[in-house]
Amino acid sequence: MPAREPRCAAAAHYWHPVGTCALGSDPAAGVGVDGTGRVHGSDNLWVIDASIMPVIPRATTNLPVVALAEHLVRTLA
């Protein structure tokens, strides 16, 4: 096996966690936020990031998170 080039050996994987915050309407079932990202049991606290995405995108999460944030922020206005 050939030796790795220095630039490849220094490369690191960066994991984008997705779907780590359960989304739903029943806090008794263990869900963290409702469909608008509002945290159950808290006032004026929303989660608007990749953690509330129910499906992992096949590509980078940047654009889907921006679209999700823009959509949910419009519901707050």
Residues noted as catalytic: 16
Provide the residue type at 45 as one letter.
L
Please tell me what DSSP assigns to residue 54: S
- β-strand partners of 23: 33
Which is nearest to 51 in space by CA: 28, 25, 19, 29?
A: 19
